[in-house]
């Protein structure tokens, strides 16, 4: 049975104390009211990870980094390695987010290295794929996602592939208030699973595929009802403990 996962990406939000306070608020709600079968992940800024990890019940809430470096260590000012994330208490890392691809020029080639580094240090990669508006309108979304998945994941051994979580982001729906319809989400998620099955066989049936485009309390239940939508990578709504809980309980 596939794991149900709701991961909150805080992006570049919250001061240190605000982040700890939010983590404590989320933790209290999750422990008291959240569906226990849902894996809950929070991805605070790097500066918060160690203390957020201490502030939450580690049996109920896991902590993620929002990115990691392609290198293990060295003269790479401003970078944070997978090993550093692991040593600070992270269990997951978000890789290939559309904002990293768009603003910082991250390529599939570079992300392939990052996925390998994450796995090397026992982090679960949440690997993001998705198309921008122009690609969707040109009917190239399947082609784009195929390239993003094949070039980054298809050289993994099956045992490593089984540790990866996929997040589909319709980039045109992030921060715009637009959302892919449940039918659009299911179409892409099913395509992703079919593509993964062509390479990894039955292992793909166990892969959790999250929806990551403006998922919020008002649409989460409808999105999560789809056969191939296994949860969400949540942006803005993850900064409200009550909204985040509502999404967790939308299953």
DSSP string computed for 43-96: E--GGGHHHHHHHS-TTTEEEEES---SSSSSS-TT---HHHHHHHT--EEEES
Catalytic: 169? Answer: yes
Q: What is the 3-state secondary structure (H, E, C) of 220-237?
A: HHHHHCCCCCCEEEECHH
User: Which of these is catalytic: 131, 141, 169, 189?
Assistant: 169
The pLDDT tens digits for 202-212 are 999 999 999 99
Q: What is the pLDDT of residue 45?
A: 98
Nearest to 227 by CA among 199, 177, 202, 192: 192
Q: Give the domain CATH number at 206.
A: 3.20.20.70
Tally of domains within the chain: 1
Exposure class string for 45-73: b at 16+ Cβ within 10 A, else e: bbebbebbbebbeeeebbbbbbbbbbeee
Q: What is the pLDDT of residue 175?
A: 67
The pLDDT tens digits for 111-149 are 999 999 999 999 999 999 999 888 888 999 999 999 999
Q: What is the mean pLDDT of the chain?
A: 96
- pLDDT, average across residues 15-23: 98
Q: What is the pLDDT of residue 183?
A: 93
Distance CA 239, CA 219 (A): 17
The pLDDT tens digits for 148-163 are 999 999 999 999 999 9
pLDDT-derived band at 240 (thresholds 50, 70, 90) equals: very high
Tokens describing residue 235: 């942006």
User: Which of these is catalytic: 48, 51, 97, 189?
Assistant: 97
The parent domain of residue 169 ranges over 4-248
The pLDDT tens digits for 172-211 are 877 666 777 899 999 999 999 999 999 999 999 999 999 9
28 has a pLDDT exceeding 90: yes
């Amino acid at each position: 049975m596939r794991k149900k996962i709701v991961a909150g990406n805080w992006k570049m939000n919250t001061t240190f104390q605000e982040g700890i306070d939010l983590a404590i608020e989320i933790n209290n709600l999750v422990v008291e009211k959240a569906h226990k079968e849902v894996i809950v992940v929070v991805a605070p800024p790097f500066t918060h990870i160690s203390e957020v990890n201490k502030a939450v019940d580690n049996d109920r809430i896991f902590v993620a980094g929002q990115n990691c470096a392609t290198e293990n260590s060295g003269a790479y000012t401003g970078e944070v390695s997978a090993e550093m994330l692991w040593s600070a208490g992270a269990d997951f890392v978000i890789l290939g987010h559309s904002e990293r691809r768009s603003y910082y020029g991250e390529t599939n080639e570079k992300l392939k290295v990052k996925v390998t580094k994450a796995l090397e240090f026992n982090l679960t990669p949440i690997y993001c794929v998705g198309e921008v508006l122009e690609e969707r309108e040109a009917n190239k979304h399947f082609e784009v996602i195929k390239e993003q998945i094949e070039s980054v994941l298809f050289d993994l051994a099956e045992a490593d592939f089984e540790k990866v979580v996929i997040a589909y982001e319709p980039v045109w729906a992030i921060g715009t208030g637009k959302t892919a319809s449940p039918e659009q989400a299911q179409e892409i998620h099913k395509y992703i699973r079919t593509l993964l099955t062509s390479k990894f066989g039955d292992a793909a049936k166990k892969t959790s595929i999250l929806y990551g485009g403006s998922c919020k309390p008002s649409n989460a239940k409808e999105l999560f009802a789809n056969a191939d939508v296994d949860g969400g990578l949540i942006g803005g709504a993850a900064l409200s403990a009550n909204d985040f809980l509502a999404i967790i309980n939308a299953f």
